[in-house]
Structure 1
Amino acid sequence: EMFVANTTGTSSADRIEGMIKNTIYGIIAAKTCGIANPTVGILNVDGARQTEKALKELQENGYDITFAESARADGGCVMRGNDVLQGTPDIMVTDSLTGNIMVKMLSSAATGGSFEATGYGYGPGIGEGYEQLVMIVSRASGAPVIAGAIRYAAQLVRNKVFEVAKAEFAAAKKAGLKEILDARKAAAKPAAAEEDVKEPPKEIVTAQIAGIEVMDLEDAVKALWKINIYAESGMGCTGPIIRVSDANLEKAHEELKKAGYIN
């Protein structure tokens, strides 16, 4: 079995930062499921090498991480398509959209894509300070997948996933995770100083606006903040979304269209 370390939401709007965080989340899930020393591979997508560099810095700083070796002759911890099918690493790290596509394809391959018949669903929501376990399946998940997701949830609860997570986050922090992520953010910023936009008061956001390029997601959120509309970024089934309150949906949609973020 192989854990696909991605997210059905957004662990970060920055692909590389998200993949670094997804690695920690994947390690937590694998350790909770009884793999004491899980191997980590990074899918060969855009940002894989930067992710590898950051994770190896974390390893050098004392964080316990074991990298897998690709089954291909040239080896290395950056995984190819062969490694996906062979399940080379215990944990396959990838970005959110690629990971979701991969899970859907692998789980529904035996049915020709009509429904998901293999696997354990989309896994648990894992994050620092989380104390509630949420497991995700989709409308396309068949009975075998739902049964697998229930067994997966039971295993996580039985083996105290939140205690494992607490210890893992502490170890990653001690090895400089925050500093590595901060350096990543600084490197990703444009040379020009960013405009300081204050976040409006939080409110319940249940309406969604889709069709925004992932690289523009945070800028689009700030465009709404500027006109005092509270908004959050997220990831829906079809890609990046912005969430706003039902009351602000129409106004937010108009503003994003005017600013060129959506058609």
Structure 2
Amino acid sequence: MVRQENQRALLGKALEDLVTRARSGKPLCRIGLMAAGGEHPQKEFLCAAAAAMREDAALIVTGVGPRPVDPLPAGMEWIETGCDGGELAAAMEKALDEGRIQGAVALHYPFPLGVTTVGRVTTPGTGAPMFVASSTGMSAAHRQEAMLRNAVLGVAVAKSLGICRPSLGVLNLDAAPQVLRALTRMVEKGYALNLGQSARSDGGSLLRGNDLLRGTVDVCVTDTLTGNVLMKLFSAFTSGGLYETTGWGYGPSAGEGWNKVVSIVSRASGAPVMANALAYTAAAVRGNLPQMVAEELRLARAAGLDDELAAFAKTDAAPAETVQAPPAEPTDEEIHGIDVLDLEQAVRCLWKEKIYAEAAMGCTGPVVKLASANVDKARTLLAAAGYI
């Protein structure tokens, strides 16, 4: 008798899923929501679930945590646990492994090295959405390698949301010129990457703060720590940091060989951000994000991704060469586009060829100062050495 009742319940659930899918035009998607441990009342989680399910009739939110006192929104499911973080995480993992949920939104998740998340913000200048690759986790231990991988992973996440040819720029940080040169070489070898352009007068694919405010590209590539700060600034600048009001959260997880879609929100995320995070996660699940990541990595590897990563590793391991500076002379010209991490080596490269040069920091980033008579030769030398 009990078995028959279970079978009827399963059949009823299957029929309900079919009806929901037919009405919405989307495949049914169950997303878990870690509903404990935040800095706001538990009703924020319930409001987020209700808002997300109102917008998407084929989305079912499954709360994970202590059973709330307030009634659940219509259609919401619940996995009851205690308040302990380990218990919450274990229940969410079990639901993912058993297929009870297809993705999850969590306040914390210990991603392994190689897995990172791609956040999404609303840019205040134009209201345009922008992916921030990345915002939590770490795709690699070293910045250059991580940022190059983040570019590929960010494109994959954007494609999973239906953006066929997302534009991409690299935030003007340490290592950004190196990463951009690597991406440019990959494009030259056939990688179909759409390098966007800065809105500043000098253009280029290195992004400035103005570009972030205006959302001039679909995907902004950065390192994780910088991305995390950007997410907080964009999400909570109207509240002084106490309550994240806008954006889609810190995004779904992506990495080589990683088959889960786990998104991150912060303890300060309010109901609007959590609702968007649930929708973002459902879209990534429906867009087959893990398969999209595997395909994007395949395309990048065909255009030399592994060679570029190996070159970064070789550069990190190379000892600095000791070179004596030539006699000083007036420096009335500048060469731009050199990464700050390479600045001293670039200067030594010129010293080695008897060209006097100085390392400096200009308004737009690091520069090499030198005499105008030596500019052409210096550019040739620096380009040959891979500094510009």
SS in 1 for 2:295: helix
1: CA distance between counterparts of 2:319 and 2:200? 39
Is 1:10 aligned to residue 138 of structure 2?
yes
Counterpart of 1:104 in structure 2: which amino acid?
K
Counterpart of 1:20 in structure 2: which amino acid?
L
Q: Which moved more, 1:77-86 or 1:125-134?
A: 125-134
Select which of 199, 204, 214 maps to 1:86: 214
Select which of 298, 314, 317 maps to 1:189: 317
Counterpart of 2:313 in structure 1: which amino acid?
K
Matched with 1:28 is 156
Counterpart of 2:305 in structure 1: which amino acid?
L
1: CA distance between counterparts of 2:170 and 2:319? 29
1: CA distance between counterparts of 2:235 and 2:227? 12
Counterpart of 1:90 in structure 2: which amino acid?
D
Residue-by-residue CA offset, 1:120-151 (whole Å, 9 max, x unaligned):
11001101111111111111111111111100
Matched with 1:98 is 226
Counterpart of 2:199 in structure 1: which amino acid?
A
Is 1:62 aligned to residue 190 of structure 2?
yes
Counterpart of 1:123 in structure 2: which amino acid?
G
2: CA distance between counterparts of 1:162 and 1:97? 23
Is 1:74 aligned to residue 202 of structure 2?
yes
Counterpart of 1:173 in structure 2: which amino acid?
R
Q: Superposed, which structure 2 residues align to 1:99-248 within 5 Å? A: 99-191=227-319
User: Contact 2:134–2:222 (CA<8 Å) still a contact in 1?
Assistant: yes
2: CA distance between counterparts of 1:59 and 1:111? 41
User: Contact 1:5–1:99 (CA<8 Å) still a contact in 2?
Assistant: yes
Residue-by-residue CA offset, 1:60-101 (whole Å, 9 max, x unaligned):
111110111111111100010100000011000011111110
TM-aligned CA deviation for residue 16 of structure 1: 1.1
TM-aligned CA deviation for residue 112 of structure 1: 2.2
2: CA distance between counterparts of 1:14 and 1:163? 25
SS in 1 for 2:201: coil
TM-score for both structures, normalised by structure 2: 0.49
2: CA distance between counterparts of 1:180 and 1:51? 9
TM-aligned CA deviation for residue 164 of structure 1: 1.4
Counterpart of 1:42 in structure 2: which amino acid?
V
2: CA distance between counterparts of 1:136 and 1:152? 11
1: CA distance between counterparts of 2:243 and 2:319? 47
SS in 1 for 2:255: coil
Is 1:46 aligned to residue 174 of structure 2?
yes
Matched with 2:39 is none
2: CA distance between counterparts of 1:20 and 1:140? 30
User: Contact 1:39–1:66 (CA<8 Å) still a contact in 2?
Assistant: yes
1: CA distance between counterparts of 2:164 and 2:249? 22
TM-aligned CA deviation for residue 58 of structure 1: 1.2
SS in 2 for 1:138: coil
Unaligned segments of structure 2, at least 5 residues: 1-128, 321-388
2: CA distance between counterparts of 1:6 and 1:154? 19
2: CA distance between counterparts of 1:137 and 1:7? 10
Percent identity of equivalent pairs: 46
SS in 2 for 1:12: coil
TM-aligned CA deviation for residue 165 of structure 1: 1.4
TM-score for both structures, normalised by structure 1: 0.71
Matched with 1:207 is none
SS in 2 for 1:126: strand
Q: Which moved more, 1:8-17 or 1:64-73?
A: 8-17
